[in-house]
């Protein structure tokens, strides 16, 4: 049969890595013009028949215009030396002599035979008969591994036809995946199967009427106050539609199961209702819900049910209302400031005396207190570790002290951001009874910091009671309750939003529209638009600008906020002194995102904790890039990726860190001082162990650790376009790169594939490590399974490409 031979022939022109994507037209041309030409006189099937045969035999995956060719065989290894046998191929229509064999990678493996060695002086004659299977000759290969990962080694066999003097060569690619026992346990729980969305159930006797499609002209236009309400409403509808689509992923029946069983909860003692437990998993917890009495009368344990979910529209309704209120209360001067103000600042006596030594922080506080930007917002541009939250807290305390009639609302996009803000406000505040941390009623009391706990349940106070507090701290969404409670417009004279770059503009409007008087009120936004922005589910909404926060729009769109040689102090302060990281850690993001203006001002003792660590590649340089050539894997129906080779390397570093803690002059370190960052949820799940804080990049924004380990995961070029399309991973995502690289205080270790990462200009970080002699592990070169075109050296010189056959599978 010609099918397996064509599978080998398809890789002849250039050696390929596993799962290589080839154009359908290219393979068709190879088959018709080259493969058939070599087999003249033999009746061969057409190209479509060959594709079908290869597809059903699991040799290829066929797409519309592209074909993924499956070549190499992957063998998982669990020791540092491995022996494998491969056989020299034979041809049923030729009599040939096998003269010699060798490897292109002698530093990685050695080749020897179990019988007499084959050399040019003593060749092995392979005698075969037509139409019968040929004679085989076993070759044993020993691999020597220095690091975990995926290694693809090329073996070259030299042959000569009995009747000809010309030599021809056959190449065999052997792919070996070296992992230890820990990484082996993390193997996929089931083969990856793309999730098939279910068709939404249509109600009986229900007529579906088409709605009005989004107005493309409005979505594509530049945002202005004239189209402000209409465009933002359209973006919110797009986001809601995507949320509805996404939640159908969890509907049952689906491609995996047709129903679920439900059981009574034996711990329930209430006769009026029961808590029933669905015996399937969405994440790590079963779903528990209450049932009406009518169902209980009919209920039997183990009953079968279909499952559908809905999401709470409250957060979307709050944003729609805020957009309407922005128009109703005429916030044009606040959102689209028309002119510049020229108010003067006053001298202040700071609560935090360290701010007096920082000219940027003290300047920002003075301008906020003086209200120099009114009616425009005042922006505190705070790159990583520059103390933007400290600046905001000082400004809040100064306004509270100097303006006797003020009422302040301080918000954050998350509970953790609001908790941090409130904790710092309470430190050194004279009258703590005037500060109120407002929680949503759904907040779990166990998650509230001890110094902020007042009770185990959260009930909103009356409007009159709320108006007595001088400072209220809450999240952006919970602030919508204040609008619902009809607090009068202008009651809050100042509204502060921390981490404003992490919220959409409509989310940022929730505490503003309906509470802040646009003429007399002061809005202050603090954040960094160079780091991760809002999380938006809809790619269409993202395309039309929903991913641009109010802070970023103010920083980048309006000339009133920015001069050619810097920022206008009346509207913007850029903080420049970094109090977090070692200078070598700060260097690359500083040059890439902040014009080299950041100054390393971290405490020298803290930032130098690991400068003498014995496992550094370069002393006094607490930065390591560890190259790993792993494999991108997925499991079951989860689209998220993981890389076991990187997990193995990360765990090795964690072990070294904990073993050397407190020794040879190093500081004592505990697991909570170590953070591991990965861009994919599945990788986070695979490496979550013990007390380590492991999280996605989004979870680490605004946080810091003494030691940060970064797992980049991606090891295949085939998925780079996938990452770009869905805004995933570190490749082509500058903001995610910036967040990950700026969390470490004293030691940063990055694990990834240098070949894949180097396709993105942002990752000149790798060259920085290479130039500083701070890289180790897998390095681009002759062993790179992703870049095999450069490998063309044969035992006796260059091969004649016409006689070169690249056989990329192992028998």
Beta-bridge partners for 573: 380
Half-sphere exposure (CA, 13 Å, Cβ side) for 482?
34
- Whether cis (ω within 30° of 0) applies to the bond prior to 375 is yes
Question: For residue 667, what is the DSSP state?
Answer: P
In percent, the amount of the chain with pLDDT more than 90 equals: 40
In a domain, 183, yes or no: no
SS (H, E, C) 242-274: HHHHHHHHHCECCCCCCCEEEEECCCCCCCCCE
Band (28; pLDDT cuts 50, 70, 90)? confident
Band (214; pLDDT cuts 50, 70, 90)? confident
pLDDT at 803 exceeding the cut of 50: no
Number of structural domains (the chain) is 5
Question: Do residue 367 and residue 455 come from a single domain?
Answer: yes
> Which comes out higher in pLDDT, residue 458 or 276?
458
In a domain, 264, yes or no: yes
pLDDT at 348 exceeding the cut of 90: no
Tens digit of each residue's pLDDT (9 = 90 or more) over 121-174: 667 666 655 444 555 666 666 666 777 888 777 777 777 766 666 666 777 777
| Top-ranked range on mean pLDDT: pick from 78-82, 500-504, 690-694 | 500-504
Alpha-carbon span 324 to 510, nearest angstrom: 11
Closest to 526 in 3D by CA, of 390, 403, 408, 704:
390
Q: Angle at the Cα of 500 (from 452 to 359), degrees rounded to 5?
A: 90
In percent, the amount of the chain with pLDDT more than 70 equals: 72
> Which comes out higher in pLDDT, residue 105 or 254?
254
Question: Do residue 24 and residue 142 come from a single domain?
Answer: no
Query: Angle between the 734-741 and 583-593 helix axes, to the nearest 10 degrees?
Result: 160
In a domain, 223, yes or no: no
> Which comes out higher in pLDDT, residue 77 or 260?
260
Predicted confidence at residue 89, as pLDDT, reads: 45
Tens digit of each residue's pLDDT (9 = 90 or more) over 445-486: 888 888 888 765 678 889 999 999 999 999 999 999 999 999
At 807, list the tokens: 């056989």
Question: Do residue 126 and residue 268 come from a single domain?
Answer: no
At 604, list the tokens: 């020298």
Predicted confidence at residue 210, as pLDDT, reads: 82
Q: Which of 125-134, 191-200, 209-218, 379-388 has the lowest mean pLDDT?
A: 125-134
C-beta of residue 428 within 8 angstroms of C-beta of residue 351: yes
Backbone phi, psi, residue 563, to 5°: -100, 165
Predicted confidence at residue 444, as pLDDT, reads: 82
Q: Which of 109-113, 214-218, 500-504 has the lowest mean pLDDT?
A: 109-113
C-beta of residue 599 within 8 angstroms of C-beta of residue 579: no
Three-state DSSP state, 177 = strand
At 803, list the tokens: 């006689």
Band (13; pLDDT cuts 50, 70, 90)? very low
Place of tokens 């600042």: 345
Q: What is the pTM of this model?
A: 0.78
Question: Do residue 33 and residue 155 come from a single domain?
Answer: no
Alpha-carbon span 782 to 251, nearest angstrom: 48
Q: State the average pLDDT for the chain.
A: 78
CB atoms within 10 A of CB 104: 21
Band (509; pLDDT cuts 50, 70, 90)? very high
Residue ending a domain, among 575, 602, 632, is 575
Mean pLDDT value of segment 189-210: 74
| Top-ranked range on mean pLDDT: pick from 202-206, 279-283, 703-707 | 703-707
How buried is residue 575: exposed, middle or buried, by Cβ count under 10 Å (0-12/13-18/19+)? buried
pLDDT at 248 exceeding the cut of 80: yes
At 780, list the tokens: 């681009």
Predicted confidence at residue 183, as pLDDT, reads: 85
Mean pLDDT value of segment 344-348: 74
Mean pLDDT value of segment 188-211: 75
Q: Which of 144-153, 179-188, 801-810 has the lowest mean pLDDT?
A: 801-810
Tens digit of each residue's pLDDT (9 = 90 or more) over 399-445: 999 999 999 999 999 998 999 999 999 987 767 789 999 998 888 88
C-beta of residue 166 within 8 angstroms of C-beta of residue 107: no
How buried is residue 628: exposed, middle or buried, by Cβ count under 10 Å (0-12/13-18/19+)? buried
Band (197; pLDDT cuts 50, 70, 90)? low
Question: Do residue 58 and residue 122 come from a single domain?
Answer: no
Question: Do residue 628 and residue 676 come from a single domain?
Answer: yes
Question: Do residue 613 and residue 678 come from a single domain?
Answer: yes
How buried is residue 252: exposed, middle or buried, by Cβ count under 10 Å (0-12/13-18/19+)? middle
Tens digit of each residue's pLDDT (9 = 90 or more) over 352-407: 888 889 999 999 999 999 998 889 999 999 999 999 999 999 999 999 999 999 99
Predicted confidence at residue 503, as pLDDT, reads: 95
Question: Do residue 381 and residue 477 come from a single domain?
Answer: yes
In a domain, 480, yes or no: yes
Predicted confidence at residue 430, as pLDDT, reads: 65
Predicted confidence at residue 669, as pLDDT, reads: 82
Question: Do residue 527 and residue 628 come from a single domain?
Answer: no
Residue ending a domain, among 155, 178, 201, is 178
Predicted confidence at residue 586, as pLDDT, reads: 96
Tens digit of each residue's pLDDT (9 = 90 or more) over 619-665: 999 999 999 999 999 998 888 999 999 999 999 898 898 888 777 77
Alpha-carbon span 169 to 158, nearest angstrom: 5
C-beta of residue 609 within 8 angstroms of C-beta of residue 161: no
> Which comes out higher in pLDDT, residue 13 or 52?
52
In a domain, 220, yes or no: no
Q: Bin 662: left if φ > 0, else alpha if -120 < ψ < 50, else beta.
A: left
Domain that holds residue 757: 583-773
Mean pLDDT value of segment 228-236: 96
C-beta of residue 321 within 8 angstroms of C-beta of residue 484: no
> Which comes out higher in pLDDT, residue 278 or 749?
749
At 570, list the tokens: 């009346």
Predicted confidence at residue 124, as pLDDT, reads: 67
Question: Do residue 287 and residue 406 come from a single domain?
Answer: no
In a domain, 226, yes or no: no
In a domain, 411, yes or no: yes
Q: Which of 19-23, 30-34, 319-323, 480-484 has the lowest mean pLDDT?
A: 19-23
Mean pLDDT value of segment 532-552: 93
Place of tokens 């290869």: 54
Q: How do the residues of the chain divide into helix, strand and coil, expressed in percent and rounded to 5?
A: 30, 20, 45
Mean pLDDT value of segment 543-554: 94
Question: Do residue 673 and residue 624 come from a single domain?
Answer: yes
Report the helix count and the strand count for the chain, using DSSP H and E: 27, 33
Predicted confidence at residue 510, as pLDDT, reads: 97
pLDDT at 21 exceeding the cut of 80: no
Question: Do residue 453 and residue 497 come from a single domain?
Answer: yes
Predicted confidence at residue 81, as pLDDT, reads: 42
In a domain, 240, yes or no: no
Predicted confidence at residue 127, as pLDDT, reads: 60
pLDDT at 16 exceeding the cut of 60: no
Residue ending a domain, among 307, 340, 375, is 307
Backbone phi, psi, residue 157, to 5°: -110, 135
Tens digit of each residue's pLDDT (9 = 90 or more) over 56-69: 766 677 777 777 76
Band (18; pLDDT cuts 50, 70, 90)? very low
Question: What is the torsional sign of CA 692, 696, 699, 703?
Answer: positive
How buried is residue 278: exposed, middle or buried, by Cβ count under 10 Å (0-12/13-18/19+)? middle
At 639, list the tokens: 């689209």
Alpha-carbon span 631 to 617, nearest angstrom: 25
CATH number at residue 417: 3.40.50.300
Tens digit of each residue's pLDDT (9 = 90 or more) over 92-102: 344 445 444 55
Predicted confidence at residue 723, as pLDDT, reads: 75
- Whether cis (ω within 30° of 0) applies to the bond prior to 253 is yes
pLDDT at 570 exceeding the cut of 80: yes
pLDDT at 557 exceeding the cut of 80: no
Beta-bridge partners for 744: 705
Using only the alpha carbons of the chain, give its radius of gyration. 32
Predicted confidence at residue 550, as pLDDT, reads: 96
What are the strands, taking DSSP E only, across 90-166? 96-103, 109-112, 124-126, 138-144, 149-161
């Amino acid at each position: 049969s010609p099918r397996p031979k064509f599978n080998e022939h398809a890789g002849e022109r250039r050696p390929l890595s596993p799962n290589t994507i080839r154009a359908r037209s290219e393979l068709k041309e190879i088959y018709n013009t080259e493969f058939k030409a070599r087999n003249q006189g033999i009746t061969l099937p057409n190209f479509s028949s060959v594709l079908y045969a290869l597809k059903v035999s699991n040799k290829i995956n066929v797409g519309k215009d592209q074909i993924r060719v499956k070549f190499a065989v992957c063998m998982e290894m669990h020791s540092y030396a491995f022996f494998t046998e491969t056989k020299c191929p034979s041809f049923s229509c030729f009599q040939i002599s096998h003269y010699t064999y060798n490897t292109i990678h002698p530093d990685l493996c050695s080749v020897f035979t179990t019988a007499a060695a084959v050399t040019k002086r003593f060749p092995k004659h392979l005698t075969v008969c037509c139409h019968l299977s040929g004679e085989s000759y076993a070759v044993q290969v020993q691999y020597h591994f220095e690091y975990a990962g995926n290694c693809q080694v090329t073996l070259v066999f030299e042959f000569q036809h009995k009747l000809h003097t010309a030599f021809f060569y056959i190449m065999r690619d052997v792919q070996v995946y070296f992992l230890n026992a820990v990484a082996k346990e993390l193997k996929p729980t089931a083969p990856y199967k793309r999730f098939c969305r279910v068709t939404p159930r249509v109600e009986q006797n229900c007529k579906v009427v088409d709605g009005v499609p989004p107005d493309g002209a409005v979505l594509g236009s530049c945002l202005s106050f004239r189209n402000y309400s209409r465009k933002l409403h359209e973006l919110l509808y797009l986001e809601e539609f995507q949320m509805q689509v996404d939640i159908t992923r969890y509907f049952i029946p689906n491609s995996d199961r047709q129903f679920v069983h439900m059981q009574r909860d034996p711990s329930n003692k209430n006769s009026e209702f029961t808590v029933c437990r669905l015996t399937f998993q969405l994440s790590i917890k079963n779903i528990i819900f209450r049932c009406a009495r009518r169902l209980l009368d009919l209920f039997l344990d183990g009953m079968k049910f279909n499952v559908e979910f809905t999401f709470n529209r409250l957060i979307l309704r709050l944003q729609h209302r805020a957009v309407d209120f922005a128009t109703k209360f005429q916030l044009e001067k606040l959102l689209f400031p028309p002119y510049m103000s020229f108010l003067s600042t006053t001298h202040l006596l700071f609560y935090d005396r360290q701010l007096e030594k920082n000219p940027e922080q003290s300047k920002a506080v003075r301008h906020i207190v003086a209200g120099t930007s009114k009616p425009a917002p005042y922006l505190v541009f705070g790159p990583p570790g520059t103390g933007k939250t400290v600046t905001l807290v000082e400004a809040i305390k100064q306004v509270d002290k100097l303006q006797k009639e003020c009422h302040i609302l301080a918000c954050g996009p998350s509970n953790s951001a609001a908790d941090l803000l409130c904790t710092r406000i309470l430190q050194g505040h004279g009258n703590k009874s005037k500060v109120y941390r407002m929680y949503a009623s759904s907040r779990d009391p166990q998650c509230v910091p001890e110094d902020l706990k007042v009770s185990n349940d959260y009930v909103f106070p009356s409007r009159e009671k709320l108006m007595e507090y001088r400072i209220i701290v809450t999240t952006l969404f919970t602030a919508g309750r204040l609008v619902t409670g009809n607090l009068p417009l202008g009651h809050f004279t100042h509204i502060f939003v921390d981490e404003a770059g992490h919220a959409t503009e409509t989310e940022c409007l929730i505490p503003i529209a309906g509470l802040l008087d646009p003429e007399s009120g002061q809005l202050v936004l603090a954040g960094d638009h160079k780091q991760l922005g809002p999380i938006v589910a809809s790619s269409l909404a993202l395309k039309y600008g929903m991913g641009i926060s109010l802070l970023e729009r103010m920083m980048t769109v309006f000339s009133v906020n920015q001069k050619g040689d810097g920022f206008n102090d009346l509207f913007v302060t850029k903080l420049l002194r970094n109090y977090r990281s070692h200078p070598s850690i700060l260097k690359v993001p500083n040059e890439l995102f902040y014009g080299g203006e950041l100054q390393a001002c971290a405490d020298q003792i803290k930032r130098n904790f690991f400068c003498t660590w014995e496992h550094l590649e370069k002393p006094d340089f607490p930065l390591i890039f560890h190259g790993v050539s792993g494999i991108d894997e997925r499991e079951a129906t989860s689209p998220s990726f993981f890389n076991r080779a990187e997990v193995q390397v990360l765990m090795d570093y964690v072990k070294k860190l904990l073993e050397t803690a407190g020794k040879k002059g190093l500081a004592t370190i505990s697991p909570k001082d170590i953070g591991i960052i990965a861009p994919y949820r599945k990788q986070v799940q695979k490496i979550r162990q013990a007390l380590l804080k492991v999280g996605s990049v989004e979870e680490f924004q605004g946080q810091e650790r003494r030691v940060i380990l970064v797992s980049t995961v991606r090891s295949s070029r085939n998925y780079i376009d996938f990452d770009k399309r869905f805004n995933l991973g570190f490749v082509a995502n500058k903001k995610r790169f910036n967040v990950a690289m700026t969390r470490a205080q004293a030691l940063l270790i990055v694990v990834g594939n240098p070949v894949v990462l180097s396709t993105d200009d942002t990752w000149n970080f790798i060259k920085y490590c290479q130039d500083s002699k701070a890289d180790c592990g897998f390095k681009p070169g002759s062993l790179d399974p992703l870049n095999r075109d450069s490998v063309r050296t044969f035992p006796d010189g260059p091969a004649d490409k016409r006689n070169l056959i690249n056989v990329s599978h192992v028998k």
